[in-house]
């Protein structure tokens, strides 16, 4: 859709008037949006990198690593022990032990997902 709009904008601008002001405005608007998006992505990558640099050796459980990666990547919705079990392909009891282990170790204790899981317990 954006590509069609861009082509229509370019054709419309140059057939009516050779002035490129509107095209430059459109181009700079697109550039600004791209820079904002890349800034957000870069912040998330740096946050994830810092988290794993600080905690790489203390989280030995592969299931916990998998879920923490999903959360750091922006998991949407409520994370319950049932969802944890399905994602990591383990029993619900094992998922609950994993969650309790993270809570005991104080990982992301202020995060929304931990509070939601604690509410479920």
Query: Do the Cβ atoms of 67 and 88 come closer than 8 Å?
Result: yes
Can you give the pLDDT at residue 110? Answer: 45
Q: φ and ψ at 87, to 5 degrees? A: -65, -45
Mean pLDDT of all residues belonging to the chain? 80
Report the pLDDT value the prediction gives residue 14, as an integer from 0 to 100.
62
Residues of the chain under the 50 pLDDT cut: 109-110, 114-118, 120-121
pLDDT of 23 reads 80
For 27-54, give the DSSP string. Answer: HHHHHHHHHHHHHHHHHHHHHHHHHHHH
**Per-domain residue ranges of the chain:** 1-56, 61-121
């Amino acid at each position: 859709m954006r590509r069609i709009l861009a082509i229509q904008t370019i054709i419309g601008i140059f057939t009516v008037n050779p002035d490129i002001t509107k095209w430059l405005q459109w181009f700079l608007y697109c550039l600004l949006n791209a820079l904002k998006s890349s800034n957000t992505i870069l912040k998330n990558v740096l946050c994830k990198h810092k988290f794993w640099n600080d905690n790489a050796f203390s989280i030995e459980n592969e299931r916990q690593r998998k879920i923490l990666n999903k959360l750091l990547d922006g998991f949407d919705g409520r994370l319950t022990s049932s969802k944890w079990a399905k994602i990591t392909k383990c029993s619900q009891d094992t998922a609950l032990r994993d969650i309790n282990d993270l809570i005991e170790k104080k990982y992301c204790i202020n995060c929304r997902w931990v509070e939601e899981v604690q509410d479920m317990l």
